[in-house]
Amino acid sequence: MSAHPLRIGLFGIGLDAYWPQFAGLKERLEGYLARVAVKLARPGAEIVNVGLVDTPDRAYAAGRELRRADVDIIFLHVTTYALSSTVLPVVQRAKVPVIVLNLAPAPAIDYATFNALADRIAMTSDWLAHCSACPVPEIANVFKRAGVKFHQVTGVLDNDPACWREVDAWVEAARVAAGMFGNRLGLMGHYYGGMLDIQSDVTLQCATFGTHIEHLEVDELASLRRSVTSAEMQARLHEFQTTFDVQSDCAAEDLAAAARTSVALDRLVAEHRLGSLAYFYKGTGVSENEDAIASIILGTSLLTGRSIPVAGEYEIKNAQAMKIMDLLGVGGSFTEYYAMDFSDDIVLMGHDGPGHIAIAQGKIKVRPLKVYHGKVGRGISVEMTVRHGPVTLLSVIEAGGRLALLCAEAESVLGPILEIGNTNSRYRFACGAREFVNRWNSHGPAHHCAVGVGHVADKITKLGSLLGMDAIRVC
């Protein structure tokens, strides 16, 4: 898996002509910048703070520092008026998305205290410490003309939750982009024949997300199954009993086969350092391969729950969507339309194959199936409902030689589900079931998508901006 950490570049701006004129102003602004650095800091992120940039020479040097540090995103804290010539070289050199922080040090200037200052120099100094909004149009103009990608957050340095929620969303989006870059996606088998919608341009996936594709053979999985010891199999069977609600009618031989495949899958993932996987294989004519694929569901569910999402039917685009959702910390389970309930104004959605353990409502049931519908084989499968409460759907769509992100927010609600040994849930949309379906379908997604818990459309939209992708929210 990718070990690329999130590196956040940070710099403030000022004008060197001010420092000899206004004693203490530079130090005051540096204090603001230090407070921003503290607010940006979080586990798993490295802050590369190159300080206050106040001259063109310092700008070029700061740009080289940020480039050497290989930052993923830059936060430009506009502390006071500064010349655009001291800003442009920094971001030109680093060549990553820029978030302009237009943050006032207080909700408002204390006018009475300010106007009571007897010293006009002190008054001007205090004003300059509050004029973060002043140079933003100049910076925006130059960035636009120079083709520099930027976004703005406007608010107050302290005690402004809405402002800092937006900043946090940009950081999380940058974390996902960094996590997708270099993620090793394994592709095992081949497409489900006839599903033209799920086929994808793998080079485009690599170019857009920075994904590394690792092509795998089902034969390797089958071979690894042969070396699984009895002790390893027994340990995995114990894990199944602890993790899942294994139904009493599941045959011992089917559970044993699933345990053997699960251990082999873990070895396959470790050998190829996979961060995600998409697979499908008929297995026709090679019994070992067929047995491996028919017994794969519990193992792939465990992997998905451990942040190595697995998409069936060789759905590469959806493996990417699932990985994005998992990097956002909200899950990312494989799903598609199951049916519409017009009486209750909901859409039933689910899928056969793996489910995301971490976002299940209660313990996942394991049920025996005499046939895998539309697929070769039989065995055991998982049945789960996504945790009740807010959810977000995400699809990576491909059209016109480009990828885009399609998302919708909904609620997973209580009610009857189809007890058929598959993942399935009831989703209610603010725009209504039929309107959601019409809007979603109008953008031409494949019939699969990923579902995660929580409402994260805002972060997905920001991820699209960072990656240069259209991000469409339908509900």
For residues 48 and 105, membership in a common domain is answered with yes
In this prediction, residue 1 carries a pLDDT of 44
For residues 138 and 252, membership in a common domain is answered with no
Q: Is 23 contained in some domain?
A: yes
For residues 68 and 134, membership in a common domain is answered with yes
Q: Is 196 contained in some domain?
A: yes
Count of CB atoms within 10 A of residue 223's CB?
14
C-alpha to C-alpha distance for 164 and 307, rounded to whole angstroms: 27
- Of 324, 292, 305, 137, the closest CA to residue 225 belongs to 292
Angle at alpha carbon of residue 452, lines to 388 and 205, rounded to 5°: 165
Q: Across the strands, what pairs with 341?
A: 346
Q: Is 82 contained in some domain?
A: yes
Distances (CA, A) of 89 to 85, 151, 388, 465: 7, 17, 49, 22
For residues 170 and 110, membership in a common domain is answered with yes
C-alpha to C-alpha distance for 159 and 146, rounded to whole angstroms: 34
For residues 12 and 153, membership in a common domain is answered with yes
In this prediction, residue 370 carries a pLDDT of 75
Residue found by looking up tokens 């996606």 in the block: 185
Q: Is 1 contained in some domain?
A: no
Determine which helix (DSSP H) or strand (DSSP E) holds 137, and give its type and residue range: helix 136-146
For residues 334 and 461, membership in a common domain is answered with yes
Task: For 148-192, write each residue's pLDDT tens digit.
Answer: 999 999 999 999 999 999 999 999 999 999 999 989 999 999 998
Q: Which two three-digit tokens encode residue 41?
A: 């800091």
| Tally of structural domains, the chain | 2
The residue range of the domain holding 274 is 184-473
Residue found by looking up tokens 């998992």 in the block: 326
The residue out of 130, 147, 180 marking a domain boundary is 180
Residue found by looking up tokens 């006071």 in the block: 80
Q: How confident is the model at residue 376 (pLDDT cuts 50, 70, 90)?
A: low
Q: Is 302 contained in some domain?
A: yes
CB 403 within 8 A of CB 328: no
In this prediction, residue 2 carries a pLDDT of 45
Which CATH number goes with the domain that contains 352? 3.20.14
Angle at alpha carbon of residue 42, lines to 40 and 43, rounded to 5°: 160
Residues in Cβ contact with 11 at an 8 Å cutoff, skipping those fewer than 6 apart:
33, 49, 50, 51, 52, 53, 62, 66, 74, 76, 77, 90
The residue out of 124, 146, 180 marking a domain boundary is 180
For residues 316 and 291, membership in a common domain is answered with yes
For residues 168 and 284, membership in a common domain is answered with no
Residue found by looking up tokens 């039933």 in the block: 348
CB 74 within 8 A of CB 443: no
For residues 45 and 94, membership in a common domain is answered with yes
- Per cent of the chain over pLDDT 70 is 98
Across the chain, mean pLDDT equals 94
Task: For 283-342, write each residue's pLDDT tens digit.
Answer: 777 889 988 998 999 999 999 999 999 999 999 999 999 999 999 999 999 999 999 999
- Of 109, 102, 95, the closest CA to residue 36 belongs to 102
Q: Is the pLDDT assigned to residue 408 strictly greater than 70? A: yes
Which CATH number goes with the domain that contains 97? 3.40.50.10940
Q: Is 12 contained in some domain?
A: yes
Q: Is 67 contained in some domain?
A: yes
C-alpha to C-alpha distance for 211 and 187, rounded to whole angstroms: 12
Phi, then psi, of 437 in degrees rounded to 5:
-60, -45
Q: Is the pLDDT assigned to residue 352 strictly greater than 90? A: no
Q: Is the pLDDT assigned to residue 45 strictly greater than 60? A: yes
Q: Give mean pLDDT, residues 407-417.
A: 95
- Give the DSSP letter string of 401-462: TEEEEEEEEEEE--S----SSSEEEEEE-TT-HHHHHHHHHHT---SEEEEEES--HHHHHH
Buried-exposed string 13-44: b where 16+ CB fall within 10 A, e elsewhere: bbbbebbeebeebbebbeebbeebbebbeeee
Q: Give mean pLDDT, residues 253-264.
A: 96
The residue out of 122, 149, 180 marking a domain boundary is 180
Stated pTM of the model? 0.94
Count the residues in the chain: 475
Angle, in degrees to the nearest 10, between helices 218-226 and 252-272:
120
For residues 118 and 157, membership in a common domain is answered with yes
For residues 208 and 83, membership in a common domain is answered with no
Report the chain's terminal Cα–Cα distance, integer Å.
33
Amino acid at 407: C
For residues 160 and 194, membership in a common domain is answered with no
Q: Is 358 contained in some domain?
A: yes
Q: Residue 67 in 3-state DSSP?
A: helix
